[in-house]
Amino acid sequence: MTGSVVIAGLGPGDDALVTPEVTAALAEATDIVGYIPYIRRIAPRADLTLHESDNRVELERGAHALEMAAEGKRVVVVSSGDPGVFAMASALFEALEAGPAGWLSLDIRVLPGITAMLAAAARLGAPLGHDFAAINLSDNLKPWALIETRLRAAAGAGFAMAFYNPRSKARPHQFARALDILREECGGKTLISFARAVSTPEESVTAVTLEEATPEMADMRTVVIVGNRDTRRVGRFVYTPRSAS
Ligand code: SAH
């Protein structure tokens, strides 16, 4: 039996949003690697080993998955949402690049999942119906100055935006700064939506204007969606028209 690594997205939370090919890969796995809350979503089985890890050790997690595959195991690396969006797929390829050449011939596949911004956008209506940018607001892996530059450029160019990792206990002030920049670039009337724990029992979704928004509306379980100048409400929905004004 030759080993394999599947990098799979578990979607935003609800089991109904896990794709059938991800479910099949999980059923065939001998080993599953991932951050603790994602591993908890996997039903234990006698023939399955679950490897829980901390969120900050993504490169080691990738190397561990590749080592196990080289030993002949069927490994699934799990991320929430889509594995290619601010998640494990890139970490695994970084580990592959830094590792022994033999790993390059392993059976490695990435299985997409429903990313948080798309699940959130669907709840709201269609706020990402025109051009948009997805930005990770965490400065763990890039300098804050670069985040500000990208935020200003995307807002200034009229993109709608989706923000991942908007605010954490470790960096409570940066999101307030991000809101200030958005008010400057987009004006106070632009719609901003806070979608928290989408598709879980704790889900909450709120849409306000930038002048009404406060930093406390976001936490690490929230994806934030800022509209463009044309984004508007229709009844209980928020949508962005397909054509730009
Ligand atoms: N790979 C994931 C993103 C990982 S980064 C994906 O594709 O969705 C983690 C960030 O994703 C969180 O800080 C939050 O901004 C967002 N997120 C993940 N799950 C979410 C959910 N169910 N509801 C709202 N935001 C979510």
Helix (H, G, I), strand (E, B) or coil at 65: helix
Query: What is the phi-psi region of residue 115: left when phi exceeds 0, alpha when psi lies from -120 to 50, beta otherwise?
Result: beta
- Comparing 29-43, 53-67, 119-133, the range with the smallest average pLDDT is 53-67
Query: Residue 80's closest CA among 14, 6, 170?
Result: 14
Span 14-40, average pLDDT: 95
pLDDT at 169: 84
| pLDDT for 192 beyond 80 | yes
Q: Cβ atoms within 10 A of the Cβ of 28, count?
A: 11
Ligand 1 site, residue 222, Cβ cutoff 6 A: yes
Determine contact, residues 129/239, Cβ cutoff 8 Å: yes
Span 217-243, average pLDDT: 97
Residue length, the chain? 245
Alpha carbons 1 and 208: distance in angstroms, whole number: 55
More confident residue, 53 or 148: 148
Q: Which residues contact 78 (CB under 8 A, 6 or more apart)?
A: 8, 9, 10, 32, 33, 34, 38, 39, 41, 42, 88
Side-chain half-sphere exposure of 201, counting CA atoms within 13 A: 0
Query: Residue 196's closest CA among 188, 211, 206?
Result: 206
Ligand 1 site, residue 164, Cβ cutoff 6 A: yes
DSSP string, 122-164: HHHEETTSS-EEEEE---SSS-HHHHHHHHHHHHHTT-EEEEE
Q: What is the pLDDT of residues 163-190, one digit of tens each?
A: 999 998 888 889 999 999 999 999 999 9
| pLDDT for 1 beyond 90 | no
Span 230-235, average pLDDT: 98
Span 134-142, average pLDDT: 95
Q: Give percent above pLDDT 70 in the chain.
A: 100
Span 62-88, average pLDDT: 97
On average, the pLDDT of the chain sits at: 96
Span 110-117, average pLDDT: 98
pLDDT at 51: 94
Ligand 1 site, residue 58, Cβ cutoff 6 A: no
Mutate-to-test residue for ligand 1 from 92, 206, 222, 225, highest number of ligand atoms within 8 A of CB? 222
pLDDT at 171: 84
Ligand 1 site, residue 85, Cβ cutoff 6 A: yes
Alpha carbons 85 and 139: distance in angstroms, whole number: 16
Determine contact, residues 151/45, Cβ cutoff 8 Å: no
Ligand 1 site, residue 89, Cβ cutoff 6 A: no
- The C-alpha angle with vertex 62 and arms to 60 and 68, in degrees rounded to 5, equals 100
Quote the ligand 1 centre to 224 CA distance (angstroms). 10
Span 13-22, average pLDDT: 98
Determine contact, residues 53/40, Cβ cutoff 8 Å: no
Residue 171: burial class (beta carbons within 10 Å; 0-12, 13-18, 19+) = middle
Ligand 1 site, residue 134, Cβ cutoff 6 A: no
Question: Please, which pLDDT band fits residue 34 given cuts at 50, 70 and 90?
Answer: very high
| pLDDT for 194 beyond 80 | yes
| pLDDT for 53 beyond 90 | no
Residue 2 Cα distances to 60, 62, 75, 142, 176, angstroms: 22, 18, 11, 37, 50
Span 177-205, average pLDDT: 97
